[in-house]
Amino acid sequence: MAVFDTPEEAFGVLRPICVQLTKTQTVETVEQLQAQLQAVSDSALQQLQQYILFPLRFALKTPGPKRERLIQSVVECLTFVLSSTCVKEQELLQELFSELSACLYSPNSQKPATVSEELKLAVIQGLSTLMHSAYGDIIVTFYEPSMLPRLGFAVSLLLGLAEQEKSKQIKIAALKCLQVLLLQCECDDHPRSLDELEQKQLGDLFAAFLPGISTALTRVITGDFKQGHTIVVCSLKIFYRTVGFIMADEQLRSISTVQEKPAVEHRVAKLMVHREADWVKNTGDKLTILLKKIIEGVSVHPHWKVRLELVELVEALLLKCTQSLVESAGPLLQALVGLLNDESPDIQARCHKVLRHFADQKVVVGNRAFADILAEHLHSLATSLPRLMNSQDDQGKFSTLSLLLGYLKLLGPKVSFVLNSVAHLQRLSKALIQVLELDVADIKIVEERRWNSDHLSTSPKTSASRPWSQFQRRYFRFFTDERVFLLLCQVCQLLGFYGNLYLLVDHFLELYHESVVYRKQAAMVLNELVVGAAGLEVENLHEKHIKTSPEELSKIVTSILEEYTSQENWHLVTCVEAEEMGEELTMQQSGLQAITSGSSTCQVTSFPAFSKPSPTICSMNSNIWQICIQLEGIGHFAHALGADFRLLLTSALYPVLEKAGDQTLLISQAATSAMMDICLACGYDSLQHLINQNSDYLVNGISLNLRHLSLHPHTPKVLEVMLQNSDASLLPLVADVVQDVLATLDQFYDKRAASFVGVLHALLAALAQWFPDTGDLGQPQAQSVGEKGSHLSPRPAALEKGLEKSTTAEDIEQFLLNYLKEKDVADGNVSGFDNEEEEQSDPPTVDENDTVPDVEPPRPVQIQIAADVMERCIHLLSDKNLKIRLKVLRTLGGKCGDFLRSRFCKDVLPKLAGSLVTQATVSARAGPVYSHTLAFKLQLAVLQGLGPLCEELDLGEGDLNKVADACLIYLSAKQPVKLQEAARRVFFHLMKVDPDSTWFLLNELYCPEQLTPPHPSLHPVQLRGAVGQQNPYIANVLLLLQELQ
């Protein structure tokens, strides 16, 4: 709040101090003056400006040694006055400018005087304030040629400060002041913009400072990162504004070749620069050197704001000085392109904006020189890429690839011209292939198994819009940084988008064929090319670019797909299939399947021509990855083609589904996610829906592959999955393919029975599910069975149960019973006279019941199928392989309990239980290697099979106890974990059948809590497994008891 509003009042107050100051110049007096000034209004101060300034200027000008402290306070006071007033006279402005500048000048040296930092700061601020206080037009006249020496002095002073001072504050202040001096100030106090002529005159004047400013600033900019980003940002700003102003094409265009005679004295005239063509050329060349230095230093600056400012620099210079700085265009574009993929999203956004701006202004495409420069750079980058990918670290690779990506983005549609050159394409592809090489030494890949063969339950809704974003972690030989991989993907996508897709796909397919070493990488590239060609992940900077048409893309995808799923690329050795690989198969594999061992991290083993090949871990890993990549590719293709992919399902669905059931975890995962991609792309709600709607395609594949089972050993598995996901509407199809399956099974009883039993099980389960009630079709049969049953067997309980059950099951049971008994009879194994007689009368009973007399009554299709299946199962019951027998038992057990129960309890159970008990002692003591032995696998198989069997066969108490006793030992913590787990499963099943006795049994082993009787008159119960007692069963018993509650 000003106390003295009028000049008169103020003068009265200030006069004594001013007088005193003139006489004795002390800090105190100056401070007093300043304190008084605070109370004077601005208007009054303006009136008294000259009067007040006088003693202050006097104090500065007084010759002789001065105390710095005094000068500082004088300058501060002066600054205060200037900040509140305007300088309206040209002369005053010039004088004050000189006087202030002189404060830091030491007459003895060229360098700024060695004065205190505070003084320097005060003077800088004083200068800055002075320039701001200059009123209206006088600021323009200030920059007349005669001022050149004094201006030059100030500029070099400020540059010196900015460069050499230690204090960050001073440096920044000096730079800001320089900005003001060069009329680049960003504050609002400069309302008047300069007209063309004035700009030109200023340009002429400033041109004299350009060398000094540019070199000094370059030193600052490329200085230590530690100096802080503000200084660098500020210097960059001054640099490009100054260069952009002096070298502006617009100004230079109007410069005449002959220099006008300036109306100044000779000494000054010599300093003046004439910006004619030669000068421009020379300066441009020198600036290019500086710019290269700056770009080199700044593009890797750790602070993002600095890099952002570099983008501004590029934009400003490329827009304003296209001609004058044509030599720098290359490095400038490179800088921009390199920052396109900066880690900071702000910079990325800014770069894209700049690029868009350039594209709009046709800076690159419309400018042949620029396009040529870019093409040339791309060429040289492609040339050095393989070497760089080899030698650089991850960060280096990242920036190199960012650069590559940027060039491609900028070139846009011109990419396809560049890649028409074979040399270019080869270099580029070689580099991509090289850097994408996978590290396949990890043993886990082969080892990880899919244990549960549960239904496919995942629905595509759970995955994100870009479904493969959570792809499996891959390990590359040449980099570990995930970002490098993403960049590579983007590069490929961009190539696919802008390049000639036919050419590129051809080229990479050729590489794919050329060597196993390239195969995985080439597939990765192909996958991304297609995604890019569909324009899905690509931001198009060039609006006129026409992307590949869906028809063409579809054709291309078809050919890649064919390649991927061909026998030699799809059926690779991924594990040592002890069970499923028959001798004959192995022999064929040696010829047919590509056992790849080409990866250079692995030892390349060469097999003698006819020996049994033993694939190395590396080669199997490599194969696994190849399949995964191809599967991922199929997902990508679906994504790229959208609903058009439906047409490709004829050939793609079967192979993918086949891999979904693969034993190797990675492959199975990759296949499932590919199927989800397909679901999303083709509009299926779930995997079930996909499978169900396309069962005809699957059946086609299954039926054709069954013809060459040795080449397609997994075919039954595909059918199994299909059956699990189908419904009754597909019965005709199923009936059709089951004929093929059974015919094939008949050929291969000895070798591949196990895989077929799974199918048969799935088939029966599906049939039972599809035709659950006893109505319609099944009625006559049900009755006939019922009648028959009543006089056949003395088992009313079984009969009741049978009637409750589905027709299918009943019929099957009957069929099986008849069949077995007939077989017994045929074998001469006559057990009792009564039975035999009834046996023989059975089949006619069935026939009599049929209603249509003349035509042979067709059985319902599902029953016919079931009967056919049973016939095979009986045969398989005698198979040598225990695993198959167990599986068959389960298959049968689900559908025809009674008979099996008796057979099972009498013959099978004792043996199984016995073997479990004897083996338990061995496995309890075994080491980690034990899990690879046959004995272990048998134990596991038995334990896994027993639980469901107990439940399905509905065993009685005595037999259940046998099972429980045999499995109990396996609850011990000493047993291998897998066996413990399996044993727990058995108990889960037992709990379902008889929870009470299971509870009792478990508590006998270990009783976690004291049982208190409900009434005090009852005796407390004491179970054998007392609390607190240490025994190896505790953990598992607790788990199971928890489940029981």
How many other β-carbons are positioned within 10 Å of the β-carbon of residue 874?
Answer: 14
Asked if 478 is part of the footprint of other proteins (rule: CB under 8 A), the reply reads no
**From CA 178, how far away is CA 183, in angstroms rounded?**
8
- Closest to other proteins by CB, 98 vs 693, is 693
- Closest to other proteins by CB, 58 vs 697, is 697
User: Taking a C-beta distance cutoff of 8 angstroms, is the pair 949, 889 a contact?
Assistant: yes
Q: How far is the CB of 743 from other proteins (least distance, A)?
A: 8
Stretch that binds other proteins, among 165-173, 261-269, 468-476, 731-739 (CB under 8 A): 731-739
User: Site residues for other proteins, window 624-663 (CB under 8 A)?
Assistant: 646-647, 650
Q: How far is the CB of 644 from other proteins (least distance, A)?
A: 11
User: Site residues for other proteins, window 657-716 (CB under 8 A)?
Assistant: 696-697, 699-700, 703-704, 707-708
Q: How far is the CB of 566 from other proteins (least distance, A)?
A: 14
Asked if 736 is part of the footprint of other proteins (rule: CB under 8 A), the reply reads yes
How many other β-carbons are positioned within 10 Å of the β-carbon of residue 209?
Answer: 23
- Closest to other proteins by CB, 706 vs 942, is 706
**From CA 758, how far away is CA 765, in angstroms rounded?**
11
- Closest to other proteins by CB, 145 vs 716, is 716
Q: Which residues pair with 476 in a beta bridge?
A: 438
**From CA 1043, how far away is CA 257, in angstroms rounded?**
98
Q: How far is the CB of 699 from other proteins (least distance, A)?
A: 7
- Closest to other proteins by CB, 115 vs 735, is 735
Q: How far is the CB of 872 from other proteins (least distance, A)?
A: 17
Asked if 555 is part of the footprint of other proteins (rule: CB under 8 A), the reply reads no
- Closest to other proteins by CB, 35 vs 704, is 704
- Closest to other proteins by CB, 133 vs 565, is 565
Asked if 739 is part of the footprint of other proteins (rule: CB under 8 A), the reply reads yes
- Closest to other proteins by CB, 527 vs 695, is 695
| 3-class SS of residue 40 | strand
- Closest to other proteins by CB, 158 vs 763, is 763
Q: How far is the CB of 557 from other proteins (least distance, A)?
A: 15
Q: How far is the CB of 736 from other proteins (least distance, A)?
A: 5
- Closest to other proteins by CB, 205 vs 737, is 737
User: Taking a C-beta distance cutoff of 8 angstroms, is the pair 721, 456 a contact?
Assistant: yes
User: Taking a C-beta distance cutoff of 8 angstroms, is the pair 128, 176 a contact?
Assistant: yes
Q: How far is the CB of 976 from other proteins (least distance, A)?
A: 45
- Residue closest to 874 by CA, chosen among 831, 827, 830, 939: 827
CA 96 to mean position of chain CA atoms: 63
Stretch that binds other proteins, among 10-18, 215-223, 290-298, 735-743 (CB under 8 A): 735-743
Query: What type of residue sits at position 439?
Result: D
Rg of the chain over CA atoms, in angstroms? 45
Q: How far is the CB of 732 from other proteins (least distance, A)?
A: 6
Q: Give the helix/strand (H/E) hosting 866.
A: helix 861-877
Q: How far is the CB of 704 from other proteins (least distance, A)?
A: 5
CA 246 to mean position of chain CA atoms: 47
Q: How far is the CB of 709 from other proteins (least distance, A)?
A: 13
Q: How far is the CB of 603 from other proteins (least distance, A)?
A: 35
**From CA 599, how far away is CA 621, in angstroms rounded?**
10
- Work out the burial of residue 78: count CB atoms within 10 Å of its CB; fewer than 13 is exposed, 13-18 middle, 19 or more buried: buried
| Binding-residue pattern over the window 740 to 769 for other proteins, x denoting contact by CB under 8 A | ---x--------------------------
User: Taking a C-beta distance cutoff of 8 angstroms, is the pair 868, 742 a contact?
Assistant: yes
How many other β-carbons are positioned within 10 Å of the β-carbon of residue 484?
Answer: 23
* Structure tokens belonging to residue 466: 């870009």
- Closest to other proteins by CB, 733 vs 754, is 733
- The three-state DSSP-derived secondary structure of 672-713 is HHHHHHHHHHHCCCCHHHHHHHCHHHHHHHHHHHHCCCCCCC
776 φ/ψ sector (left φ>0, alpha ψ -120 to 50, else beta):
left
Q: How many residues bind other proteins (CB under 8 A)?
A: 16
Q: Phi/psi of residue 813, each to 5°?
A: -60, -45
Packing angle of the helix pair 779-792, 833-849 (nearest 10 deg): 160
Among 63, 65, 608, 732, binds other proteins (CB under 8 A): 732
* Structure tokens belonging to residue 343: 């880690």
Q: How far is the CB of 710 from other proteins (least distance, A)?
A: 12
**From CA 965, how far away is CA 970, in angstroms rounded?**
10
> Which residues, 6 or more positions from 855, have their beta carbon under 8 angstroms from its beta carbon?
none
**From CA 896, how far away is CA 954, in angstroms rounded?**
11
User: Site residues for other proteins, window 64-93 (CB under 8 A)?
Assistant: none
**From CA 816, how far away is CA 801, in angstroms rounded?**
17
Q: How far is the CB of 696 from other proteins (least distance, A)?
A: 6
- Closest to other proteins by CB, 191 vs 732, is 732
Q: Which residues pair with 134 in a beta bridge?
A: 87
How many other β-carbons are positioned within 10 Å of the β-carbon of residue 469?
Answer: 8
Query: What type of residue sits at position 975?
Result: Q
**From CA 561, how far away is CA 212, in angstroms rounded?**
64
- Closest to other proteins by CB, 746 vs 965, is 746
- Closest to other proteins by CB, 700 vs 769, is 700
- Closest to other proteins by CB, 486 vs 647, is 647
User: Site residues for other proteins, window 93-132 (CB under 8 A)?
Assistant: none
Residue 360 sits at the vertex; the CA angle it makes with 359 and 365, to the nearest 5 degrees, is 40
Asked if 558 is part of the footprint of other proteins (rule: CB under 8 A), the reply reads no
Q: How far is the CB of 650 from other proteins (least distance, A)?
A: 6
Q: How far is the CB of 703 from other proteins (least distance, A)?
A: 6
- Closest to other proteins by CB, 730 vs 762, is 730
Interface ranges with other proteins (CB under 8 A): 646-647, 650, 696-697, 699-700, 703-704, 707-708, 732-733, 736, 739, 743
